[in-house]
Amino acid sequence: MIIKGNVKWAFIQTPNTKYEPKYTVNLFPENPEDLSDFEAQGYPVKVDETTQEKFIVVKRKVMNKNGKKLPVPKLLDAQKNPIDIQVGNGSYVAVQLRPWDIGDFKGFELQGVQVLDLVEYSGDGDEFEAFDIESEF
C-alpha cells in the first residue's frame, strides 16, 4: 500500500535509537479518508499536539525477534533512483507501508519512501542566530 503525504521525524536509513532501534516516519496523509479508514479498522492514529493534525506512525524494527537484521527501508527520489539523504520535516513523500494485525495489536510496517518534494534536513543549528555574548549581557 502506498500513501502520499508529508512526514516529520523521518528515520529512514538510519534508525532512531532513542528506545528500541527502529526506522520510522510520522506520516500526515494528504487524503483524510485514509486516516478515517485506518481509525475505523482500529489502527492507531495520533494527533500532533502543536498543530492538532492527525498522523500515523510507520516503522520497521532493525532486528527481528530472532536477532536477525532486517533490510533497511528503500529510499528513492521522484524518478525511483536510490538516494542517501536525510529527509526533513515537511517533505512530501509516497510511503510504501504494510498494515499488520496481531491479535489486539495493529500497526504499519515501513517498506520504503519515495521523496517527491524534499525539505532538506538541517540538524546543524542553522535555526539559531550567532550572538556576541560579551555585548548581549
CB 97 within 8 A of CB 111: yes
Q: What is the pLDDT of residue 78?
A: 95
Model confidence pLDDT, tens digit, residues 42-75: 999 999 999 999 999 999 999 988 989 999 999 9
Size (the chain), residues: 137
Q: How wide is the angle at C-alpha 112 spanned by C-alphas 93 and 106, nearest 5°?
A: 100
What's the 3-state SS for 18-60?
CCCCEEEEEEEECCHHHHHHHHHCCCCCEECCCCCCEEEEEEE
Average of pLDDT values for 88-104? Answer: 93
Q: What is the pLDDT of residue 120?
A: 82
Q: What is the mean pLDDT of the chain?
A: 89
CB 6 within 8 A of CB 28: yes
The residue that leads in pLDDT, 2 or 135, is 2
- Domains parsed from the chain with CATH numbers: 2-123 (2.40.50.140)
Q: What is the pLDDT of residue 136?
A: 47
pLDDT greater than 60 at residue 126: no
Which of 49-53, 60-64, 83-87, 132-136 bottoms out in mean pLDDT, i.e. has the lowest?
132-136
